[in-house]
Structure 1
């Protein structure tokens, strides 16, 4: 007799949780719609408060410009060029950032040699290295990838280093007590244990990389979403400027979501917030 109520009690929170998820999605969608509606109202009525909305394009003008851009070959060429640059620079930063972060966290010798150099270079904004990249590399493409790499490298490296240093020493002691080698400690303790910190750095790094790749395209690029956005501004095509801004936002959101999704898949063994709350 008691098994049936217990089963019902266990199943009861599921519809409530599903209702909460849909409510959250509705609120998020409603906030976006509200901002779009407010933008349309302020720009179509030429309202001036402390911000000059009368100089900005309306939502309908931006939609028309977006529809026109989607029908051109140049839009997809710029899209592909920016994606190639971001994936090349970020991919290189992910590999070298994780490797050097682990080395800095595990090797005192490596930290003594390489650590001061990273701390001196880390505060320098990546966009400030644009003149150096122009001098170093024979073409703009390699320079933009280099700037993107520099932008993403430091968040990944620092986050990985902190994650490695924060690992409990008892884990390593347990592996060594069971006869494990340094490679066993690295593969069974350091790398799995630091994954949450690594993906935290990757999530930050992809966002910073987009900021810098767009800035570099505006300064020295010939193709790319950033270059096309700046070109639209120079010819007073303000709807085109917002098409570029929205495109950059969508690309940034998509790549960040992909990194977070991969992170959740790789660290699926970790307890989540909902599981802890239970």
Structure 2
């Protein structure tokens, strides 16, 4: 084989670039029915909401604001209840909640992933920690509120602690499941080739558990937002959870919906960002499909 032919064959066998992988994923997603069904589901929900509250005026929903009223309040330069896209207070609530979630989520990831890996790798460590984890995990976030206020000085620390708890348990359990899902053949192969424990951890356990870890992080982010709202409702001063509860007390129902939709959109974007990072780190899975 000539040098030119060998070079051509090498280029053909080369792994796809990151850009090619990303474009492939985007094309496959647009070719599928998923994005269009997603959009149809959202439109259908808004239309049903409109029918129940503004057209048919069903008695069970007569106190709920309709989508038209919420939208008008949301985009109004002079909102009736003081919260819209044009008011600085709206963005202060958003930024406060985002900052709290980021602190709790990164702390839960920093602690939860190593704990989950160790529980899956070392049976003795799991025997010590798993019963305690399963005892604490079912306790609702609202039950932790009094203790968090007593344990942590200041309102901010208690809210972050509550948000951290919900995120931590989801991260640990999914990481543990990822390690336990690795086929025992890989461990035997690594040991037969003389791999040291740290090599087994870095080359077998961590890559093998990575898909479950990022799935857990997406779930963890959802739990973080859920727990944050519970904490802000009871102990917050700013944030979307506080805005929802305060608007209910002040009978400002359109603001409740505005805060809920805002929270949902931000939560969805944050989970999508985690999914993108995971796809970026695990592009070997997509490269196999491209080939």
Range into which the TM-score falls when normalised by the shorter chain? 0.7 to 0.9
Compute the displacement of 1:180 (Å).
1.7
Any conservation in 2 of the 1:159–1:197 contact (CA below 8 Å)?
A: yes
SS in 1 for 2:285: coil
| Structure 1: gaps of 5 or more residues | 1-13
> Which residue of structure 1 aligns with residue 106 of structure 2?
91
Any conservation in 1 of the 2:29–2:35 contact (CA below 8 Å)?
A: no
SS in 2 for 1:270: helix
Q: Within the alignment, does 1:58 sit opposite 2:73 as a pair?
A: no
* Cα deviation code 1:188-242 (max 9, x no counterpart): 0000000111112111111111111011101110010110111111111111111
**Deviates further, 161-170 or 210-219:** 161-170
Any conservation in 1 of the 2:141–2:230 contact (CA below 8 Å)?
A: no
> Which residue of structure 2 aligns with residue 67 of structure 1?
75
Any conservation in 2 of the 1:46–1:53 contact (CA below 8 Å)?
A: no
Change (3 A) 1:133 1:18: closer
1:12-23 to structure 2, matched below 5 A, reads: 21=31
Q: CA RMSD in A?
A: 2.4
| Structure 2: gaps of 5 or more residues | 1-23, 77-83
> Which residue of structure 1 aligns with residue 41 of structure 2?
31
Change (3 A) 1:166 1:65: same
- TM-score scaled by length of structure 2: 0.82
* Cα deviation code 1:231-262 (max 9, x no counterpart): 11111111111101101111111111111111
Q: How many residues align?
A: 259
> Which residue of structure 2 aligns with residue 250 of structure 1?
265
Equivalent position to 2:137, from 122, 126, 130 = 122
Aligned equivalents of 1:154 and 1:186: distance in 2? 22
Aligned equivalents of 1:113 and 1:89: distance in 2? 25
Equivalent position to 1:263, from 278, 283, 290 = 278
Change (3 A) 1:18 1:96: closer
* Cα deviation code 1:147-169 (max 9, x no counterpart): 11110111110111121122122
Aligned equivalents of 2:34 and 2:181: distance in 1? 34
> Which residue of structure 2 aligns with residue 9 of structure 1?
none
> Which residue of structure 1 aligns with residue 240 of structure 2?
225
1:47-196 to structure 2, matched below 5 A, reads: 47-48=57-58, 52-68=60-76, 69-196=84-211
Aligned equivalents of 1:70 and 1:237: distance in 2? 16
Aligned equivalents of 1:226 and 1:190: distance in 2? 38
* Cα deviation code 1:31-76 (max 9, x no counterpart): 322322332233223522xx62222212121012212411111111
Aligned equivalents of 2:183 and 2:167: distance in 1? 27
* Cα deviation code 1:119-176 (max 9, x no counterpart): 2212212332111101101111111111111101111101111211221222122222
Change (3 A) 1:26 1:159: closer
